[in-house]
């Protein structure tokens, strides 16, 4: 790819030129759609595999040939134990509304199961797993020289934020969620920032109403000193990337850079906001096997064949803790976060509400992907049960 650095006026001019008519980008149909955070369990199972019937989306086009993802000669089918009670994987999935589970060990599928009517060819929405894809695309854009540096100020790409709490905040502080800007991520409160940020209709001449919303937020800590999980900042990062690409949509860039070259098996879709821009913080949809392929791409160091798609060292930086020493979450617990990826002692993961996950274990050469329709966006018991499922699959895949 031939790419060049763009000066700020060119970025802004191109972005505004290629903005689609704002009012054309709405939920499919004329009737209002209730917040995705409030869908019933029946609506989840109907809409998660077919989000394009509810919302306008962009499409990540697959290539001519899917990459090989062979089935291992020996399949695993462990028992899942939670609080002393054991069940088969199939029973556990049905009881806990897990619709898809796949494990790839040493490049071969050792377990692949579906439930609740899901079929292998069905896509499933990702929620915040898309955040990790956004940071990966930012890395690719740095490699391709669309973005100068992760240390660039966010205002270089989104000058509308000048004079706001984001003045003096770097792109790196956005992708590590350490901007110091105050934010409420309460999924149960429809008046929280996460529920309100994307609801405004675009105004004439406005690039994206999310920027207007984010520009009104207040600062609560110096940039780089405090971690607060903010979906709005991931959307902001996606808009900065869209500006840098100067005309290409995120879906188009993702297709050209990763989706088609890596050999994903099916087109993916990406929900767009009311201004027609893909949401950097949410809602890509893809098949279960393609979720696994994302994990394999990261496991392979961000390469496609011998070609490096990401800057040298990007995968290590993105998937290891980048927070300041002593960083804690809202409940005062020690926190670890990379570039929109969640590091842990054994590897790292991309996580989404309602039970979506891509877990990567480099030392074990193992990827586990899960799609679900949990009753609640987040819940302690749900999380504990998912960890029990992952442990059972890991142990079986590793012969423990």
pLDDT of the residue at 259 = 98
Q: Per DSSP, what are the bridge partners of residue 308?
A: 303
pLDDT of the residue at 187 = 76
- DSSP H helical segments within 33-180, as ranges? 41-47, 89-95, 129-143, 154-157, 171-175
Residue numbers of the chain with a pLDDT score lower than 50: 1-25
**CA of residue 122 relative to chain centroid, distance:** 18
pLDDT of the residue at 11 = 31
Please count the other Cβ atoms lying within 10 Å of the Cβ belonging to residue 313. 11
210-213 contact pairs (CB < 8 A, 24+): 210/235, 210/236, 210/239, 210/273, 210/275, 211/158, 211/160, 211/161, 211/236, 211/239, 212/160
Sketch out the chain's domains with CATH numbers: 8-72+90-397 (3.40.710.10)
Q: Give just the sign of the alpha carbon dihedral 109, 111, 115, 117.
A: positive
Is residue 181 within 8 Å of residue 215, measured between CB atoms? no
Residue 76, SS3?
Answer: coil
Is residue 6 within 8 Å of residue 240, measured between CB atoms? no
pLDDT of the residue at 137 = 98
CA nearest 392: which of 85, 19, 29, 182?
85
pLDDT of the residue at 9 = 32
Q: Give just the sign of the alpha carbon dihedral 249, 251, 255, 258.
A: positive
């Amino acid at each position: 790819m031939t790419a060049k650095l763009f000066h700020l006026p060119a970025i802004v001019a191109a972005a505004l030129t290629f903005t689609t008519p704002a009012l054309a980008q709405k939920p499919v149909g004329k009737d209002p759609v209730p917040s995705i955070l409030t869908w019933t369990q029946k609506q989840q199972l109907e809409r998660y595999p077919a989000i394009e019937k509810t919302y306008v989306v962009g499409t990540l086009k697959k290539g001519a040939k899917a990459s090989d993802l062979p089935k291992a000669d020996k399949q695993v089918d462990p028992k899942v134990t939670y609080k002393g009670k054991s069940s088969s994987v199939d029973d556990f999935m049905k009881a806990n509304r897990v619709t898809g589970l796949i494990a790839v060990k040493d490049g071969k599928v050792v377990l692949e199961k579906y439930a609740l009517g899901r079929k292998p060819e069905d896509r499933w929405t990702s929620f915040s797993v898309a955040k990790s894809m956004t940071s990966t695309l930012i890395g690719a854009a740095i490699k391709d020289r669309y973005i100068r540096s992760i240390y660039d100020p966010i205002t270089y790409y989104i000058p509308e934020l000048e004079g706001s709490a984001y003045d003096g905040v770097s792109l790196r502080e956005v992708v590590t969620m350490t901007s110091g800007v105050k934010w409420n991520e309460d999924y149960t409160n429809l008046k929280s920032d996460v529920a309100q940020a994307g609801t405004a209709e675009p105004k004439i001449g406005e690039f994206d109403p999310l920027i207007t919303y984010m520009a009104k937020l207040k600062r609560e800590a110096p940039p780089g000193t405090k971690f607060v999980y903010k979906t709005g900042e991931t959307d902001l990062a996606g808009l900065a990337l869209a500006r840098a690409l100067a005309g290409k949509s995120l879906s188009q860039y993702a297709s050209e850079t990763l989706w088609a070259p890596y050999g994903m098996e099916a087109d993916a879709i990406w929900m767009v906001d009311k201004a027609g821009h893909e949401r950097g913080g949410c809602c890509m949809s893809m098949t279960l096997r393609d979720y696994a392929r994302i994990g394999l791409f990261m496991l392979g160091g961000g390469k496609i064949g011998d070609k490096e798609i990401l800057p040298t060292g990007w995968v290590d930086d993105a998937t290891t803790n980048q927070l300041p020493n002593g960083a804690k979450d809202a409940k005062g617990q020690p926190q670890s976060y990379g570039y929109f990826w969640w590091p842990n002692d054994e590897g790292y993961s991309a996580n989404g509400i309602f039970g979506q996950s891509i877990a990567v274990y480099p030392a074990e050469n193992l990827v586990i992907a899960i799609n679900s329709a949990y009753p609640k966006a987040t819940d302690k018991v749900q999380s504990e049960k998912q960890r029990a499922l992952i442990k059972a699959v890991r142990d079986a895949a590793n012969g423990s």
